[in-house]
């Protein structure tokens, strides 16, 4: 019995030596990459506060009857103070009465929805009077930049974008009522102004959610334009030059995600500096604390994350056709764990594989938006050139590359039988409920 117990010390001693070796290996971290250290850090906005539409976006969430500008300043001041004091932000009280649900132009024809229910729509819009007043001030801005001059982390709050989206729906429903009253000119002006701001917001967004909100808003505008083109084609012909100007190509910088990925890396970097203390709302368990203390190399993990996010930026610059293939493979960049990974910085390597998402689907949303803008731009060109129905196929085939389907790299598809111009959207968009989406293709009926 004593001999048996004596033999037990051998595997225990070996395990202890092995554990000590692993702890020893992880006790020596590597230097922090200078680019990784600088990337994603707070910086002062280039746009002055008085000209920045970002504050007006924040102000859309202010309480009924409140000063929207004062609310936005208080919201931003609290965000900065919370970051400085390393604590969760305290929500600024904003009591808002419930608004009625309005037609969403991205999902249905608001022109059809208001055709026989104009009086009911006006009653609903009356509940949005303050939102519409705020929204009109918002879209008057011609500059936009999300303010991230404080440390932005996983607990940082985003502006409340829902009131903005609801106000935009109200804005387009009001435009639909204007169309029903026979004033195409005024309705076009409303959409022109909104599209102009959404373009500014697309370019000025520095966070992934901000860019996606702008893309969703822009999609809603384009769906409304498609609705107009399909129901009021004859009335729109005199306005063809305005339509082509309104639907000019989206700037490449609005489709580039480098800035957004930089911000995402900055957020991840704050987590990786001390994973055990990442959430001030809770306390790390003993196992988590010990894991970070003995099996985690902070600098090595941040450096590896930096490499991954750089690879992601390069991946997202690929043409949309190539990105659809990456999407099918989940856009994976990080390899699976190997034996060495469980010895050297195991906690860091597990964190990267669990905590870093794929961004491919977000890039494809932007390409879907670009394709829709191209589709409607081509439709506007057809109207401007006064092309007869039997000449559309030839016109489309000879159209400029700025009107090509970005997924195929070829002219948009034209079906003379259904009189539809169309393109095939990404798989993610094909699953959504969208206006003029059928069998995975978004179309414009001429």
The pLDDT score that the predictor gives to residue 12 is: 44
Split at pLDDT 50, 70, 90, the class of 340 is low
User: Residues 107-151: pLDDT tens digits?
Assistant: 999 999 998 898 999 999 999 999 999 999 999 999 999 999 999
Average pLDDT over residues 329-347: 62
How confident is the model at residue 47, as a pLDDT? 94
Q: Which residues, 6 or more positions from 103, have their beta carbon under 8 angstroms from its beta carbon?
A: 110, 113, 114, 121, 169, 172, 173, 176
Average pLDDT over residues 266-277: 85
- Order of strands across the sheet with 437-438? 413-415, 420-424, 441-445, 437-438
The dihedral built from the CA positions of residue 377, 379, 385 and 391, taken in this order, carries a sign that is positive
Q: Alpha-carbon distance 292 to 269, whole Å? A: 15
pLDDT digits (tens, 9 = 90+) for 391-410: 999 999 999 999 999 999 99
Least confident stretch, 73-87, 110-124, 328-342, 358-372: 328-342
Q: What is the mean pLDDT of residues 258-266?
A: 95
d(CA 327, CA 196) in angstroms, rounded, equals 30
Is the pLDDT assigned to residue 245 strictly greater than 90? yes
Give the whole-number percent of the chain exceeding pLDDT 70.
86
Inter-helix orientation angle 346-355/298-316, to 10°: 30
pLDDT digits (tens, 9 = 90+) for 56-92: 999 999 999 999 999 999 999 999 999 999 889 998 8
Residues forming a β-bridge with 422: 413, 443
pLDDT (mean) for 234-256: 93
CA dist 35 and 243 (Å) reads: 44
| pLDDT band for position 21 (cuts 50, 70, 90) | low
Among candidate residues 129, 249, 271, 126, the one with its CA nearest the CA of residue 195: 249
Q: What's the whole-number average pLDDT of the chain?
A: 87
pTM: 0.90
Residue 314 has pLDDT above 70, yes or no: yes
What residue has token string 């002006």?
A: 189
């Amino acid at each position: 019995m004593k001999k048996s117990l004596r033999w037990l010390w051998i595997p225990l001693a070996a395990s202890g030596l092995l554990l000590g070796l692993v702890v020893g290996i992880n006790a020596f971290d590597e230097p922090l990459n200078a680019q990784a250290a600088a990337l994603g850090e707070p910086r002062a906005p280039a746009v002055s506060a008085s000209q920045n539409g970002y504050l007006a976006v924040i102000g859309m969430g202010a309480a009924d009857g409140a000063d929207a500008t004062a609310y936005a300043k208080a919201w931003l001041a609290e965000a900065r103070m919370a970051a400085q004091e390393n604590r969760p932000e305290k929500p600024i009280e904003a009591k808002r009465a419930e608004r009625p649900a309005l037609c969403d132009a991205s999902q249905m024809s608001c022109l059809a929805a208001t055709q026989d229910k104009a009086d009911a729509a006006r009653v609903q819009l009356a509940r949005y009077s303050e939102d519409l007043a705020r929204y009109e001030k918002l879209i008057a801005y011609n500059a936009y930049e999300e303010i991230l001059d404080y440390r932005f982390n996983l607990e940082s709050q985003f502006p409340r974008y829902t009131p903005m989206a609801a106000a935009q729906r109200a804005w387009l429903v009001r435009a639909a009522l204007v169309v029903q009253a026979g004033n195409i000119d005024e309705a076009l002006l409303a959409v022109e102004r909104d599209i102009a701001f959404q373009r500014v917001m697309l370019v000025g967004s520095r966070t992934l959610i901000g860019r996606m909100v702008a893309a969703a808003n822009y999609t809603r505008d384009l769906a409304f334009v498609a609705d107009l083109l399909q129901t009021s084609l004859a009335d729109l012909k005199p306005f063809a030059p305005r339509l082509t100007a309104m639907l000019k190509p989206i700037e490449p910088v609005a489709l580039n995600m480098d800035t957004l990925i930089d911000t995402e890396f900055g957020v991840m970097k704050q987590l990786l500096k001390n994973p055990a203390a990442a959430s001030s709302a809770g306390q790390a368990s003993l196992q988590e604390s010990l894991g970070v203390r003995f099996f985690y190399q902070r600098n090595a993990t941040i450096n590896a994350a930096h490499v991954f996010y750089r690879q992601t930026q390069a991946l997202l610059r690929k043409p949309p056709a190539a990105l659809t293939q990456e999407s099918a493979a989940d856009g994976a960049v990080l390899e699976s764990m190997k034996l060495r990974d469980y010895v050297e910085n195991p906690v860091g390597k597990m964190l990267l594989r669990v905590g870093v998402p794929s961004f491919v689907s977000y890039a494809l949303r932007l390409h879907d938006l670009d394709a829709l803008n191209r589709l409607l731009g081509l439709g506007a060109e057809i109207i401007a050139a006064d092309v007869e129905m039997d000449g559309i196929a030839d016109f489309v085939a000879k159209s400029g590359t700025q009107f090509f389907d970005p997924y195929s790299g070829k002219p948009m598809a034209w079906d003379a039988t259904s009189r539809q111009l169309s393109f095939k959207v990404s798989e993610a968009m094909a699953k959504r409920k969208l206006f003029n989406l059928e069998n995975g293709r978004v179309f414009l009926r001429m």
